[in-house]
Structure 1
Amino acid sequence: MGPVQKSQTTSPRYDRGLARAHFLRVAKQKRPRRRKVKAAIKHQLGYVRQNLKAIDALIGCGARLSELKRHWWQKLLACSELERQQGLLLASQTNSIPDRLVNLVQTHIRPMVRGKARAAVEFGAKISVSVQNGFPFLHRISWNPYNEGEDLIAQAEKYKLDTGSYPERICADRIYITAKNRHFCTRNGIRLSGKRLGRPPKDPDVTTAHKHQLRSDQARRNEVEGVFGSGKRKYSLDLIMARLPAGAESSISMAFVVMCAEKVLRLLRLFFVLLFGWIYSFFMAWSAIRAPEGICKPCF
């Protein structure tokens, strides 16, 4: 901040140690009750409001926020917005609010409820990926939660734009199998994996064949899950160090570029191995034909 008038002789009060003690008292509990969590949030909001009022008092004494560095100015705005959001959540007795802040530095990150046993809520970018002939393609990166089922039609249209025709079949997750997507796939001659609507057929042979087809489609769809697993384990998709959204999106995109490059490298390696094997076999057969009779050739 800028210079303050001489009448401001005492430093602003802040209870950082007390706020930390109140936070740890609840954070160290394995499963605190909802009432305790709400009371802890109320205490922390009180400390934040106290500090914001102290800043307002300093501004009234002549301090200038224009003297702050950029990152401190952004954090101050984030703290003010965080106090407003949490106050609304406490007053309205709800658990969600648009554009909820979870990080003072990365203000673009939003909480995404997944419902998993290990992590009910996850944070980070949400991506939409498809696999075509073994190559993973990144279609969408979003920092806000959205319904993945909305991407199926756009990805099918992108496939038609690249290849000239719609795919023969789409092996998708259950969330993609909506009435709108079913109608789109039926209209364009695409077989969408998933259970049929209505009652099951009475013919047991048809039911058995459909179950085998579902099992085969599920096995093909697991390739996408493998892309996510290998991307997190080998290509650092679970360790994005960039703080800005543009840098994080570039890191994610480069990971998929490297995946496709290594896939091409493996195919080239296989091609040259097969080519060398064919040339070696042809050379050995030609040597056996040209060899004079009575000379034994070694067998490989």
Structure 2
Amino acid sequence: MKRSSTLQDIPKFINTAVSPAGLFVSITSNSISHVMRTTKGKEKLLALAQYSSELYKLTMFDYLKANKIQEWPIKVKNFHEIEKSMKNGRKLMRVLMFFDELNVIEKIWTTNRTLDFVKILRILAHFASTVYYILDNLVWLADIGIISKFISTANIRWKDTKDISCIARCILQFTIDFITAIRTNKHIKAATDILQENSTKVIHEKDEKYQKLVENLIDCRRELRFKKIDIIVTILRFLMLAKALNFPWTKGMSHIFVAICGVCSNSLSIFNILIAEPVVRIEAKQAPESKDKKLNLIS
């Protein structure tokens, strides 16, 4: 005989069924809200939709060509329209993004006035991004017939200058990430060596030296993971840019591969935005066998 549910069973039902679903909905909504909070996050979502639609369209082109189908199916037409819409949406998103780059340059300059090689490269990279976004707006306005495609005073094509600034940005960003990854890896190795020498030592809350060392090790490992992702994203973007500029060594590169690079790079960028907040913290808890507080790593 089937047992009927009572009011006393409601909390149990909520804990077993509704709670996991509610947790999933909460995490998903918070993640989307976190990405949508910035212009960069919105632009990356549109870029992911654009390259995903382009990838589907290009793969279907091969199928249509192999089967000698002349007319596009309705799904291919829909994805083609989605691709165009997302591309235009990205143009609108990037209209004022050069202000964000100028703001970053100001923060880099005012945070620490001491200049080093990496800091100079960061300023140059964000300056190149500023030039890129400004010229991208001018090229877009020229394409829709509002202004001329040429700078009258210097007789330089805006698009060529935009492409040069984009290449400079990629090269500078790759150099920054590579140098930062090497430096971070050295810090990790130094901290690990010190901790291995004291591997049997119990780290208490009062041991400020080892506490800071553990915190620094966790931060460095996390930063190194981010830098590895940034390096991969920069390489993928450079491959896409090289194909767009028709570099000689990209003749054998298919458009499907470029679309895959776009999907992967924007997916990784969104992933970086999602986990930008600290996911590791150090918390002091009361140990049951001792009155001293010990450090517990919580991830």
Fold conserved (TM > 0.5)? Answer: no
Higher relative contact order (CA closer than 8 Å, sequence separation 6+): 2
Q: Which has the higher helix share?
A: 2
When Rg is computed on C-alpha atoms for both structures, the one with the higher figure is: 1
Q: Which has the higher strand share?
A: 1
TM range (shorter): under 0.3
